[in-house]
């Protein structure tokens, strides 16, 4: 029995892959094809159907829904935005057990969505999308999957997730290590940490959740840090029974609470997105927190960030600093020189030997280039169009790629608020776009290049004033420092930008020859 599994979460029996049992070269055509069954893909399907679009299919490469929350089940995994806001406003859950719910509970919520909105039959599991090509005369996307199928759709919504491909760090000799290796986004629940010497590489959002749990189990934990982040304590509480009852009985009360949380986060943008007096106040508070938690000046120095707040994601934790000071834990800040069969060699010349190394090193984020080959008008491909940084119109449409919609597209990332707030705004916009495409029976709905360019010029101009572009290195930026991930503003601004679908921004071509369906 291993006790690191998140309580209340039962893993489904291994892989009952529901592969479409009737493979055929030309699949039935659908109105909307969605790639990915994470929060975004499922949310899009729900809203489309509520808007009357029923001919929808979701292709998911995995064997179950949930995306991020299916993959990230490491000990301690939880959201760092209060669950009431890290959930859909159109599907609120009165039962969140605590302020920041664990991964298992969030996955349970996602599964609940599938049940409640009857999505299961739309999903084709085991379908890894490998590319898609636009058939311009027909106004149809041909979407290919790894098993050789081609799906046909009037519109495609790409919901493959911003953080769905876990990445190993580029450490020389990584492959020579003989001990056990675990990636945070593919946890090995069978491994027993008791009595083991363990390394955790990385000190980002996942690591600060994993380390406090590992310290409780392993004999020794060494944490390898490159750059320290800003850490904020979180108001962690177990939801009182009365609030669950209240929210169940009076949904408006939960909406009001959600609204309050939204505005608390919005106000943080003033410190996080831009450098303002509030940034300094917040930095001062976090330094005071560090000081109160860490008495040793050298350790404190090692944990003090040398970039402005907001330049990278703020880390939220109550027990990170404490666990680093546990008797069986050590923070290693020497640069990593390479890996050897027995462990990690750092530049101070010492080989740190381990039974197991946990990589909490994050994800391959595609900031330049497309996640899979996408061929648009006149054979152009998204990969080269985005080679020097991804660009889109309002983060959802890309000129030259008609009838394609993105969630978490370029410059849609929140630095200070729930990803789902942004996602809902995108989904709303996509539903209106799809509505126009189908309602007016268009073959082509393509954002005008000059409109997209003007939008991006404005975004980049506004980005220049934000903390992300203030000279620090982070995964938000490409190698050349181009920011194609973050939205430079308040969630409120983003929402209002997405509230209207401006038909005039798009070039449209009506469908003339109707394909037989």
Ligand X SMILES: Cc1cc2nc3c(=O)[nH]c(=O)nc-3n(C[C@H](O)[C@H](O)[C@H](O)COP(=O)(O)OP(=O)(O)OC[C@H]3O[C@@H](n4cnc5c(N)ncnc54)[C@H](O)[C@@H]3O)c2cc1C
The residue ranges that bind ligand X (CB under 6 A) are: 35-41, 59-62, 67-68, 72, 79-81, 86, 127-129, 159-164, 206, 372, 407-408, 418-419
Beta carbon of residue 388, minimum distance to another protein (angstroms, whole number): 20
- Is residue 345 a contact residue for another protein (CB under 8 A)? yes
Rg (CA), the chain: 23
Beta carbon of residue 365, minimum distance to another protein (angstroms, whole number): 19
* Structural contact between residues 176 and 339, judged by C-beta atoms closer than 8 angstroms: yes
Beta carbon of residue 34, minimum distance to ligand X (angstroms, whole number): 9
Tell which residue, 312, 267, 258, has the closest CA to residue 86: 258
List the single partner that 37 binds among ligand X, another protein, none, CB under 5 to 8 Å by kind. Answer: ligand X
Q: Are strands 404-406 and 150-158 parallel, antiparallel or unpaired?
A: parallel
List the single partner that 318 binds among ligand X, another protein, none, CB under 5 to 8 Å by kind. Answer: none
Beta carbon of residue 192, minimum distance to ligand X (angstroms, whole number): 23
Structure token pair of residue 56: 């929808």
Could you give the residue ranges of the DSSP H alpha helices within 100-220? 103-116, 207-217
Sign of CA dihedral 111, 112, 113, 117: positive
The C-alpha atoms of residue 112 and residue 401 are separated, in whole angstroms, by 34
Query: CA neighbours within 13 Å on the CB side: how many for 75?
Result: 22
Nearer to another protein, 94 or 179 (CB): 179
Find how far residue 264's CA is from the centre of its chain. 21
What is the number of other CB atoms lying within 10 angstroms of the CB of residue 457? 10
Could you give the residue ranges of the DSSP H alpha helices within 219-361? 241-249, 251-272, 277-293, 297-303, 320-324
Site of tokens 């959600």: 258
Site mask, another protein, residues 423-462, x = CB under 8 A? ----------------------------------------
The C-alpha atoms of residue 170 and residue 374 are separated, in whole angstroms, by 28
> Among residues 349, 378, 379, 516, which is the contact residue for another protein, using CB under 8 A?
349
* Structural contact between residues 477 and 367, judged by C-beta atoms closer than 8 angstroms: yes
Nearer to another protein, 244 or 342 (CB): 342
> Among residues 298, 327, 480, 512, which is the contact residue for another protein, using CB under 8 A?
298
Q: Which stretch binds another protein (CB under 8 A): 48-56, 88-96, 294-302, 376-384?
A: 294-302
List the single partner that 415 binds among ligand X, another protein, none, CB under 5 to 8 Å by kind. Answer: none
> Among residues 3, 135, 296, 440, which is the contact residue for another protein, using CB under 8 A?
296
What is the number of other CB atoms lying within 10 angstroms of the CB of residue 208? 25
Beta carbon of residue 296, minimum distance to another protein (angstroms, whole number): 5
Nearer to ligand X, 257 or 372 (CB): 372
> Among residues 190, 297, 327, 379, which is the contact residue for another protein, using CB under 8 A?
297
Beta carbon of residue 333, minimum distance to another protein (angstroms, whole number): 8
Residues binding another protein (CB under 8 A): 296-299, 301, 306, 334-335, 337-338, 340, 342-343, 345-353, 473
């Amino acid at each position: 029995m291993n006790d690191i599994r998140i309580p209340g979460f039962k893993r489904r029996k291994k892989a009952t892959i529901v592969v479409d049992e009737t493979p055929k070269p030309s699949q039935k055509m659908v109105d909307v094809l969605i790639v990915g069954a994470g929060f975004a893909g499922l949310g899009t399907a729900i809203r489309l159907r509520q808007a009357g679009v029923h001919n929808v299919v979701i292709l998911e490469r995995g064997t179950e829904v949930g995306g991020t929350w299916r993959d990230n089940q490491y000990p301690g995994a939880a959201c760092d935005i209060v669950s009431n806001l890290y959930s859909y406003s159109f599907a609120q859950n009165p039962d969140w057990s605590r302020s920041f719910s664990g991964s298992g509970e969030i996955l349970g919520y996602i599964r609940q969505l599938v049940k409640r909105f009857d999505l299961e039959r739309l999903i084709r599991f085991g379908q890894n999308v490998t590319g898609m090509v636009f058939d311009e005369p027909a106004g149809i996307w041909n979407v290919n999957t790894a098993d050789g199928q081609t799906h046909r759709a009037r519109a495609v919504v790409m919901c493959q997730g911003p953080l769905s491909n876990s990445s190993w760090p580029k450490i020389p000799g990584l492959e020579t290590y003989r001990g056990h290796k675990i990636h945070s986004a593919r946890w090995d629940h069978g491994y027993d940490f008791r009595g083991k010497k363990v390394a955790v590489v990385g000190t980002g959002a996942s690591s600060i959740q994993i380390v406090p749990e590992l310290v409780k189990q392993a004999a020794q934990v060494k944490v390898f840090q490159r750059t320290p982040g800003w850490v904020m304590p979180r108001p962690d509480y177990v939801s009182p029974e009365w609030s669950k009852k209240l929210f169940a009985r009076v949904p408006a009360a939960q909406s009001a609470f959600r609204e309050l949380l939204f505005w608390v986060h919005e106000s943080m943008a003033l410190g996080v997105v831009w450098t303002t007096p509030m940034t300094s106040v917040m930095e001062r508070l976090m330094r005071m927190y560090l000081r109160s938690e860490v008495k040793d000046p050298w350790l404190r120095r090692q944990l003090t960030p040398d970039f402005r707040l907001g330049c990278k994601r703020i880390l939220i934790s109550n027990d990170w600093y404490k666990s680093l000071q546990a008797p069986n834990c050590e923070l290693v800040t020497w640069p990593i020189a390479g890996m050897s069969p027995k462990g990690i060699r750092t530049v101070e010349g010492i080989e740190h030997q381990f039974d197991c190394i946990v990589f909490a090193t994050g994800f391959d984020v595609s900031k330049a280039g497309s996640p899979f080959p996408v061929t648009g008008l006149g054979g152009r491909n998204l990969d080269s169009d985005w080679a020097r940084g991804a660009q889109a119109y309002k983060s959802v449409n890309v000129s030259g790629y008609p009838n394609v919609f993105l969630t978490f597209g370029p410059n849609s990332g929140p630095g200070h608020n729930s990803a789902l707030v942004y996602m809902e705004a995108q989904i709303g916009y996509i539903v209106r776009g799809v509505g126009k495409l189908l309602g007016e029976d268009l073959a082509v709905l393509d954002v005008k290049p000059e409109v997209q360019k003007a939008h991006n010029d404005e975004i980049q101009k506004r980005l220049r004033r934000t903390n992300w572009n203030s000279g620090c290195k982070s995964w938000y930026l490409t190698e050349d420092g181009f920011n194609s991930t973050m939205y430079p503003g308040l969630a409120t601004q983003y929402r209002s930008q997405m509230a209207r679908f401006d038909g005039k921004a798009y070039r449209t071509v009506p469908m003339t020859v109707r394909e037989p369906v």
